[in-house]
A and B are shown apart, each in its own frame.
Chain A
Amino acid sequence: MDNQQHKIGSNEYAVQVHGVIKSFGSGDAKTVALKGVDFDARQGELLMIVGPSGCGKTTLLSVIAGTLAFDAGKVNVFGNPLHAMSKSETTLFRGKNIGFIFQQFNLIPTLSCVENVSVPLLINGATRAAAEKKATEVLEVVGLKGRENERPTNLSGGQQQRVAIARSLVHEPRLIICDEPTSALDKDNGAKIMELLREIARAPDRCVIVVSHDNRIYHFADRMTEMEDGKVQRVHETYKPVNFKDQ
């Protein structure tokens, strides 16, 4: 990997993380979850963050997504310095630029699929009609045409995660963040979701970051960042089988 090619602030980088430190608690209960992390993700790639449980993957993802404040270091997302933004600027930034996919889908069960998917647009100030129109189109893209008005709880796990993917895409964010997106799914559904995510990542100007410790899906990654004990250990340019104790 040639880091000289990608200068800090360059547009070719989707995400640059430099020297990030994050600790939780204080005194005896203090845990340092990120111990000076350097990390990057490029445009047009699906990057996977892997590593044993408790090594800091979710914490790093939260820092990149702008949902977690960190103690020290720099984080640039498409050239925007998160470390220099106020809390409300970060909130606004997340709403416009980041799509979220969660392990447990986190769909609102009392709302229909189309309503769930329209949420990011509504947060960004779209009208209800415009938001639902766009949401319907994106649901079709993820293969859920005709299920718009159903409640997510009536769908299978794989279908629910497709709804979540539609929701993460609907406002056309540049960075899509996924924490263990397949761990609640069986192998086939997991693979289908990953195919969909890789397709999405291939668009120019986009980047998908997936945290996982599910080795059945590692081969979908363009690059893989391996973490251990709050630090990045290695970056694999292409998929190589890795074995972790806790799998």
Chain B
Amino acid sequence: MYHLALKMLFSDRAKYIMLVSGLTFATLLMTQQAAVFFGILAWTNGNLKNMRAPIWVVDPKVEQANEIKSMRDTDVGRVRSIKGVEWAVPMYWGILQSRLSDGTFKAVQLVGLDSATMIGRPGNMIAGRIEDIRVPNTVVIDDLAVERLSKGRPKPIGIGDVFEINDKEARVAGICKTEKSFFGYPYIFTTYDQALQFAPKTRKMLSFILAHPAKGMTAKQACLEIEKETGLKAYTEEEFGLATIKWFFVNTGIPFSFFTTILMGFIVGVAIAGQTFYSFVLENLKHIGALKAMGASDWLLTRMVALQAFTVGLLGYGIGLGLTIVFGLLVLRKGMPPFSLPWQLPAVTFVIIMFICTFAALLGIAKVRKLEPAIVFRG
């Protein structure tokens, strides 16, 4: 009987297409929007991913990793002197203007690394060596900088080329690869001391203190000790990431607007699938009644209806997920908009689509079960 159930479904072209495209649309909307949203969340943690350190010490008023309340240089020494800390180094991070050779300006994120240890250095060098930033007025730029700063040049900016950061000359000593970040500006790495030269002078210039727990201590234990001894705020890498995401949820409307769109995908899915499937069952009620009269059990008819519902569900989900992946591949090549598709996301969408199909099937099944086979003899 199952092949007949499927044939009845496929033969009702209009409803079949409506069902599959409704579920495709719901899958696409939910998965794609959630992937873009997760992409944004991943970007908010860009600083943490690019300048990796187990402990981040900041001013107590800092709530997230894309925010600066500068500290005093002497704070590094205070952190360093704590027993639970193996090492602690300063880091500068700030957004500055760089001038291109055609005279236009582009914003960049300047990162100043501790010159002795290079802690916070980029994880992936494409060309040159990070140690070369110790040479005066040199920097390592990331791949995004190559793209953005090459404007007006005969060939892409490379090692040995010069551009200006905040009106001061910087020579490229290397190129690295970085993860996308919240502000979306290119990263420029130099030493901490040189970063202070590039940046406009202010009373306090220290953005982060990166630290490592002493042997036998967890990062969390060290953080508690740092906070107690210095009055500064110390986050483990993981805490800082979560705090950043939490801040993003509490302080921006972005999660809410994504949630609304995803909810809309769900509602559209429920409405189209539920309504169309129910009317499909209603239209076939006369035939279902005849099948019942001819001895088809409720259980057999239930399985037939469920097969029809889950067939359109799987097709819609498959096509929707396929379209999402195509979208993802296209935007990942372009780098915009953000996109992140962890496996849990399609899994959750799958569960939701199956839920929608179950709902639609139950509507039909309830109708079928209530149907009296005697109706077949009534006009």
Contacts and interface: CB of A to CB of B under 8 A. Distances in A.
A100 B294 contact: yes
Given A91-B297, A94-B294, A104 B377 contact: no
B287 to A, nearest CB: 5
A67 B372 contact: yes
A182 to B, nearest CB: 15
Interface string B346-376: 0000000000000000000000000011101
Given A67-B377, A102-B377, A123 B11 contact: no
A102 B376 contact: yes
Contacts of A100: 290, 293-294, 376
B296 interface: yes
A127 to B, nearest CB: 11
Contacts of A58: 377-378
A165 interface: no
A68 B374 contact: yes
Given A68-B372, A123-B300, A179 B377 contact: yes
Contacts of A67: 292-293, 372-374, 376-377
Interface residues of B, number: 26
Contact of A102 (B7, B290, B292, B300): B290
Interface in A69-126: 88, 91-96, 98, 100, 102-104, 106, 108, 110-111, 115, 119-120, 122-124
A68 B372 CA distance: 8
A103 B296 CA distance: 20
Contacts of A108: 4, 8, 287, 290
A106 B290 CA distance: 7
A61 B294 contact: no
Contacts of A62: 374, 377
B374 to A, nearest CB: 4
Contacts of B300: 123
A92 B295 contact: yes
Interface in B2-56: 3-4, 7-8, 11-12
Contacts, number: 79
B285 to A, nearest CB: 12
A179 B286 CA distance: 15
Given A111-B8, A122-B1, A123-B300, A106 B295 contact: no
Contacts of B291: 119, 123
A15 to B, nearest CB: 16
Contacts of A94: 293-295, 373
B297 to A, nearest CB: 5
A110 B8 contact: yes
B379 interface: yes
Interface in B296-313: 296-298, 300
B294 A110 contact: no
A128 interface: yes
Contacts of B7: 110-111, 115
Given A67-B372, A123-B1, A110 B297 contact: no
Contacts of B287: 106, 108
A96 B296 CA distance: 11
Given A100-B293, A123-B296, A61 B377 contact: yes
Interface centre among B11, B300, B376 (most CB of A within 10 A): B376
A3 to B, nearest CB: 28
Contacts of B298: 91
A124 B287 CA distance: 17
Nearest to A151: B11
Contact of B4 (A61, A92, A119): A119
B301 to A, nearest CB: 10
Contacts of B11: 110-111
B13 to A, nearest CB: 10
A128 B3 contact: yes
Nearest to B290: A106
A164 to B, nearest CB: 10
Contact of B295 (A68, A96, A115): A96
Contacts of B373: 67-68, 94
A193 interface: no
A218 B374 CA distance: 25
Contacts of A65: 293
A95 B372 contact: no
Contacts of B376: 67, 100, 102, 106
Contacts of B294: 94-95, 100, 119-120, 123
Contacts of B379: 103-104
Interface string B220-261: 000000000000000000000000000000000000000000
A247 B374 CA distance: 25
5 contacts: A61-B377, A95-B296, A110-B8, A123-B294, A179-B377
Given A68-B373, A123-B296, 16 more contacts: A58-B378, A62-B377, A65-B293, A92-B295, A94-B373, A95-B295, A95-B296, A100-B293, A104-B379, A108-B290, A110-B12, A111-B11, A115-B7, A119-B1, A123-B294, A124-B295
Interface of A: 58, 61-62, 65, 67-68, 88, 91-96, 98, 100, 102-104, 106, 108, 110-111, 115, 119-120, 122-124, 128, 179
Interface of B: 1, 3-4, 7-8, 11-12, 286-287, 290-298, 300, 372-374, 376-379
